[in-house]
Amino acid sequence: MKRIALVTIGQAPRDDVVPEIRAHLPPEVEIVQAGALDGLTVDEIATHPPLGEDSTLVTRLSDGREVTVHREFVHHRLQEAIRAVEKDVALIGILCSGTFPPLRARVPVVVPHVLVRSYVSALPGPLGILVPSPRQVAPAVEEVRGWGVEAVGASVSPYTGRAHLGAAARGLAERGATAFLLHCFGYSERMKDEVQAATGAPVLLVRSMLARALAELV
């Protein structure tokens, strides 16, 4: 039996994400979970807030609560989480679509941000980008424009703001978006369906991108 690790920037287990990824994998594959914020209390996490738009990450704790944390703090702990599981698995997938410095491991690490760039660069645009936090909108739009694709953005938390998802997507469509990127692992396949129903446009979902890439590699 092949074992893979799914490592979140929040806390494991990610019961809101992993079952959807599991559905894309062969039944004999075993999944191990780990999280960058495992073992920390809410108060301890709160001492590491983001210092600016470019350092903002939004994730989920094991009890379902949403937290916002500093990217560099998460990167350090993400690397530690990888070290803790790498000896027991053949492949690691990162449950975050943000950018990080290089992650070191004894086994291959699938970084969704690389997949996102490849998919997005193939689109003519304009791309509508949905992210969890208002602080993430400008950096996400700027990054995609740097890839040569025109973009517009809006924020809707997949954890607390799902009721506003369709309206936010329609707003981006009114601003010219012809395709959409749900730029966070908190967005689900059901949320993808909601955006497609609201706009009639193609929608890219990062968790299914990762799932299909892992399925090719196991």
pLDDT per residue, tens digit, the chain (218 aa), is 699 999 999 999 999 999 999 999 999 999 999 999 999 999 999 999 998 777 899 999 999 999 999 999 999 999 999 999 999 999 999 999 999 889 999 999 999 999 999 999 988 889 999 999 999 999 999 999 999 999 999 999 999 998 999 999 999 999 999 999 999 999 999 999 999 999 999 999 999 999 999 999 99
Instruction: Tell whether 165 and 213 lie within a shared domain.
Output: no
Instruction: Tell whether 71 and 150 lie within a shared domain.
Output: no
Q: What is the pTM of this model?
A: 0.94
Handedness of CA 20, 26, 28, 32 (dihedral sign): negative
Instruction: Tell whether 195 and 213 lie within a shared domain.
Output: no
Instruction: Tell whether 55 and 106 lie within a shared domain.
Output: yes
Q: What is the CATH number of the domain that holds 33?
A: 3.40.50
Instruction: Tell whether 180 and 146 lie within a shared domain.
Output: yes
Give the total number of structural domains in the chain.
2
| 96 neighbors 8 (Cβ within 8 angstroms) | yes
Instruction: Tell whether 193 and 212 lie within a shared domain.
Output: no
Instruction: Tell whether 160 and 178 lie within a shared domain.
Output: yes
Domain range for 147? 115-205
Instruction: Tell whether 93 and 136 lie within a shared domain.
Output: no
CA-based max dimension of the chain? 49
| 50 neighbors 69 (Cβ within 8 angstroms) | yes
Instruction: Tell whether 212 and 196 lie within a shared domain.
Output: no
Instruction: Tell whether 120 and 107 lie within a shared domain.
Output: no
Q: Which long-range contacts (CB under 8 A, 24 or more apart) does 109-112 make?
A: 109/82, 110/210, 110/213, 110/214, 110/217, 112/185, 112/206, 112/209, 112/210
Instruction: Tell whether 108 and 149 lie within a shared domain.
Output: no
Instruction: Tell whether 99 and 181 lie within a shared domain.
Output: no
